Chain A
């Protein structure tokens, strides 16, 4: 290699390095801008929730509260009845979660490791349900529930969501990936179906199971459409509906209590956001897992 060639290679190397550094700088700048924009609504919700009513209506908004009014939260919990909404949401979510997990695991087992005539037809019935959302069937469902006396009850909130074709589908895919020999071996050891599911399959798919369950939890916690239809009264109102209601009451015709509405908004998201940060790893893959299948 001649001297010239060497130096030009060096130069090329230099310029590539410079390019890479520029690229990194651009990425950093853009990323920070994006993050600031994305974070802003959440930041704004938090600061607005501790401002006073006067401060929130100032012509020039303050980026940092002059005084902290944590009593906004107390007001919302008492007047807006948020404590009750919390309880209702928790019970509803737990109900949906438990029933989806239990029915889902067994069905997924039946469809992946089981063998029976009509298996494919049955699975198509499950998949077909994916194409019939609540947004289509809510009218007859609402009437059914009303006839059974289930409007404004926990059972009414939970029943239509108690089985999730999505959950079954995801778990079935995961169970399919496990070699049948494990199941056979367990069977030889005298394990029944419940044993195989709880001792073999579930532990082997722990992370998928956990991820899908987390998604189910957040979907339940954040659900809005069906609760809005079935729990119209105050008795079984959930957080999401209660917050929309608060918006109508407080920002409606006569009062502009946006600081308290923001406090309510914070209260409604806190459990899920805490979960998000604790189980970030699972939450991040939750949706992309679905994407890869």
Chain B
């Protein structure tokens, strides 16, 4: 380089570029290339149990949209959407209510807030085995407490009417404090002037909440909605430990569906096909939520 006497500006640009090169190479290999591979695999009949594979055209796509895979595709889509709605409700509505309860600035409340937020940091696997134990039909403490008020034992994880609710209990326990913290820090950003002005107009606390707090929090709500929605679509771990997708696939969310085809049945071809569908779905959701967030929200600068 010295011999060529490059323009120092250019040298600087190259050096700047080198800073980001490792990351780009990494993402190319470990993120973008696998997506291309996924498409390729979806056109094969690759079964991990077998030594050979060949291209089979659109056979897997037919299987997915017009074959024995269709039923479970829609099932997992439905379960995932139900789960997402549950997690969104807990995070946004629950988080907001908790934020109002814990919106008091003193040492005791600050300690209590920390406790409510802590579950977010408890490893999901630890939390899940604890919930398994609490929800146990015969020896779990929840059923014992219910029996004290005369409710007979509920088979929380074994009944398809309660299995998803049980998974959501665990999710709620871990996420509600997060929603609370996000809302609280946003509430502190709302200028006290608004409230004083409203007080002078004789507004009640409830009116103040509806006409000031809620609208001012709308960017926060949107943020929570977008991030929670997308992350809730990727749920796997809680389902894997609590129900393994059961009973009879009533908690089989999307990722678990893919996981089952790939790592239990070893049908890489089918798993890849569903994974692509899932990927497209994620993209659509992301784009749609971004579209919504552009424009609708009034920011207070």
Contacts and interface: CB of A to CB of B under 8 A. Distances in A.
Report whether chain A binds chain B. yes
Contacts of A48: 133
B236 A287 contact: no
Interface in B216-275: 220, 223-224, 227, 234, 236-237, 240-241, 255, 258, 262-263, 268, 271-272, 275
B185 A291 contact: yes
Nearest to A109: B19
B244 to A, nearest CB: 10
A229 B268 CA distance: 13
A258 B13 CA distance: 60
Given A44-B130, A122-B24, A140-B41, A244 B104 contact: no
Interface stretch (A27-35, A64-72, A203-211): A27-35
Given A38-B177, A269-B122, A107 B37 contact: no
B118 interface: yes
A157 interface: no
B147 to A, nearest CB: 10
A136 B126 contact: no
A112 B20 CA distance: 11
B121 A262 contact: no
Interface residues of B, number: 88
A257 B111 CA distance: 34
Interface stretch (B60-68, B82-90, B277-285): B277-285
* Size category, A interface: 35 or more
Interface in B95-146: 98, 101-104, 109, 112-134, 136, 139, 141, 144
A240 B123 contact: yes
Interface SS of chain B: helix
B173 A41 contact: yes
Given A103-B26, A132-B32, A160-B30, A218 B240 contact: no
A137 B34 contact: yes
Contact of B236 (A24, A42, A104, A135): A135
B282 A129 contact: no
Given A125-B24, A129-B31, A136 B14 contact: no
Given A44-B133, A107-B20, A136-B275, A159 B30 contact: yes
A262 B141 CA distance: 14
Interface in B32-65: 32-35, 37-38, 41
Nearest 7 CB-CB pairings of A with B: A114-B16, A110-B19, A140-B37, A137-B34, A140-B34, A110-B20, A240-B125
11 contacts: A34-B98, A35-B112, A104-B23, A129-B32, A132-B32, A135-B258, A135-B278, A143-B268, A240-B125, A256-B139, A265-B130
Interface of B: 12-20, 22-24, 26-27, 30-35, 37-38, 41, 98, 101-104, 109, 112-134, 136, 139, 141, 144, 173, 176-178, 181-182, 184-186, 205, 220, 223-224, 227, 234, 236-237, 240-241, 255, 258, 262-263, 268, 271-272, 275, 278-279, 282-283, 286
Interface of A: 23-24, 27, 30-32, 34-35, 38-39, 41-42, 44-45, 48, 56-57, 59-61, 103-104, 106-107, 109-111, 113-117, 122, 125-126, 129, 131-133, 135-144, 159-160, 162-163, 165, 168, 193, 218, 221-222, 224-225, 228-229, 239-241, 243-244, 246-247, 251, 256, 258, 261-262, 264-266, 268-269, 272-273, 275-276, 280, 283-285, 287-288, 291-292
